[in-house]
Structure 1
């Protein structure tokens, strides 16, 4: 597995529950994503050999560099699971301490882990120790929020302790756990975090467009940006970000380009998964790409009637002739971003 450099010009795809599977990672990589993250993987699920959990680890040679994001709150499960992942060839890992979904927090995982900084640091330390056993050396990051409750500035205590134990980078979504996705992400806290640690800081939160990403780097001085909801609506956001940073023009996000993106996603899904479950999943995702185009409701109806991969490709071709309306990225609050 390939390692990577963290730079402002190499945008990341965030770990998106239900979205950042292998086909979507390959799609985003083909449009300029420098680093991609897996969906978050349960340490306990891996320990008990859950088949659904193992599916999240599907990969291929073109899926590099990839970061495997894991979550859990019981340290006894981490050593064996990390050893298993390293033996499978994975060398880049991330600990999820930012998911605010209730079922994750009920287990003490996600942002709930920030309530016990000592436990969090202990778990991250196990990950650092085990990742180092990779023959080429492993790396570990931690993704977190400002704190679990409104007003908790837990990140200021947490980040230096993570740096001290050898964590290689940190990613912060500058909202509180209780805040979910309400209000605005506080980018000023990203600058404060950057001033607190010397390891790379990656920004997440309210990066809906490529321009948002460029502005975040300019305003906060972070070392990189991680696109989540922006990529879900526009997988070309990575190319657009790189073009803006380099002062280049990008083609308009019209029906022609979106139809090509959809065809690519269908192909990656068919080639690397190709089962009924993946068929139904991609069928439900396609309308997201056509958001802001006229005729989206009729397209959604036709997609629901598709019964084969060929039907999907035919329906996707209709996007090419759809006229562009005002395109608005709508926040999604059911994913761990």
Structure 2
């Protein structure tokens, strides 16, 4: 399958395989790791427009980027078009390539403020927000939406048309409603319907866990790019795997235990450089659980890593896990006569 470059406004993305924005996941270290594996564009964690105008220190840390991760999309959330435009003007000269508007977050504290997927219930306001941001910044503005708010309000096609009419350069569609959160199965049919309804690029999102999933989504929906979210947690190799499968028909084996351990240690080192050892190690705990899921000894690892408080302790734990897991695999192979 030939992968056509993705054109978002004045930005050309060579490989249309994108890392979705995920709160608490897509920080700077993880984005860099995904770009190194071939990801065409990465997205920041969502940032609050109000927090930008308040000059919140933690929010500005979330917006830090480095040259090796670009192109990078900065995702903004809010519900007041004037405040969002003011926030965007404040950060317009920062090093990001695309401004994405979050209209899909299902978390109650966001939705209850009329933000995130709550905007799916207010198409006119959503349109005004897009227009205000397009006028406020000289960078492409994209919108991330869901199938609808609930099964009685499926309006992704309407929302995509409104985004396009107000100057959005692309739209990403997650094939679940807000009420579904991340449960059930993503509806790729709604992505196909959006693709048929608008002329701007459509990015498909939802249930991309394997290279075969990516190929099937492109074939079934005609989308211009795919966006991986939960499938990339603990698996930055997913982007390499998707690209090599689509372009060359190559299916990679799962990373070896040694590769996995080396990646976790590098990830931890980057976290510590970026956030300090105390915070960096604590945030690595969930990543280690994701990396090791499905491997021999993963349950024991999830329990043990929550006690780790230093890089040296993590390094020793991973060395012990590697030895334990490799020993378990050898025993399994011996018992099965291989």
After TM superposition, is the score higher than 0.5? yes
Alpha-carbon deviations, 1:287-323, whole Å to 9, x = none? 2100111212332344333332122223233454425
RMSD: 2.0
1:14-163, aligned counterparts within 5 Å? 14-132=20-138, 138-163=139-164
How far apart, CA to CA, are the structure 2 residues paired with 1:304 and 1:184? Answer: 31
Q: Indicate if the aligned counterparts of 2:82 and 2:132 stay in contact, CA closer than 8 A.
A: no
Secondary structure, aligned partner of 1:198:
coil
Alpha-carbon deviations, 1:85-121, whole Å to 9, x = none? 1122434110000011111000000110111111111
Q: Indicate if the aligned counterparts of 2:234 and 2:287 stay in contact, CA closer than 8 A.
A: no
How far apart, CA to CA, are the structure 1 residues paired with 2:296 and 2:279? Answer: 28
How far apart, CA to CA, are the structure 2 residues paired with 1:79 and 1:221? Answer: 33
Gap change, CA 1:50 and 1:224, over 3 Å in 2: same
**1:298 corresponds to 2:300:** yes
Q: Tell me which residue corresponds to 1:273.
A: 275
1:197-236, aligned counterparts within 5 Å? 197-236=198-237
Q: Tell me which residue corresponds to 1:328.
A: none
Q: Tell me which residue corresponds to 2:177.
A: 176
Paired positions, count: 318
List alignment gaps of at least 5 residues for structure 2. Answer: 1-9, 330-338
Gap change, CA 1:155 and 1:298, over 3 Å in 2: closer
How far apart, CA to CA, are the structure 2 residues paired with 1:320 and 1:200? Answer: 44
Secondary structure, aligned partner of 1:178:
coil
Q: Tell me which residue corresponds to 1:332.
A: none
Give, in angstroms, the shift of residue 14 of structure 1.
0.5
How far apart, CA to CA, are the structure 2 residues paired with 1:170 and 1:122? Answer: 16
Runs of 4 or more consecutive aligned structure 1 residues displaced over 6 Å after TM superposition:
none
List alignment gaps of at least 5 residues for structure 1. Answer: 133-137, 326-337
How far apart, CA to CA, are the structure 2 residues paired with 1:20 and 1:264? Answer: 16
How far apart, CA to CA, are the structure 2 residues paired with 1:303 and 1:146? Answer: 37
How far apart, CA to CA, are the structure 2 residues paired with 1:307 and 1:285? Answer: 14
How far apart, CA to CA, are the structure 1 residues paired with 2:90 and 2:79? Answer: 18
Q: TM-score, normalised by structure 2?
A: 0.88
Secondary structure, aligned partner of 1:267:
helix
Give, in angstroms, the shift of residue 165 of structure 1.
2.0
1:186-335, aligned counterparts within 5 Å? 186-246=187-247, 247-321=249-323, 322-323=325-326
Give, in angstroms, the shift of residue 229 of structure 1.
0.5
Q: Which structure: larger Rg?
A: 2
Alpha-carbon deviations, 1:249-305, whole Å to 9, x = none? 424333122112212211221233334212211133212100111212332344333
Gap change, CA 1:236 and 1:117, over 3 Å in 2: same
Give, in angstroms, the shift of residue 43 of structure 1.
0.5
Q: Indicate if the aligned counterparts of 2:208 and 2:214 stay in contact, CA closer than 8 A.
A: yes
How far apart, CA to CA, are the structure 1 residues paired with 2:11 and 2:150? Answer: 34
Q: Tell me which residue corresponds to 1:334.
A: none
How far apart, CA to CA, are the structure 2 residues paired with 1:289 and 1:297? Answer: 12
How far apart, CA to CA, are the structure 2 residues paired with 1:60 and 1:318? Answer: 34
Q: TM-score, normalised by structure 1?
A: 0.89
Secondary structure, aligned partner of 2:12:
coil
Judge which range, 267-276 or 158-167, deviates more. 267-276
How far apart, CA to CA, are the structure 1 residues paired with 2:320 and 2:243? Answer: 29
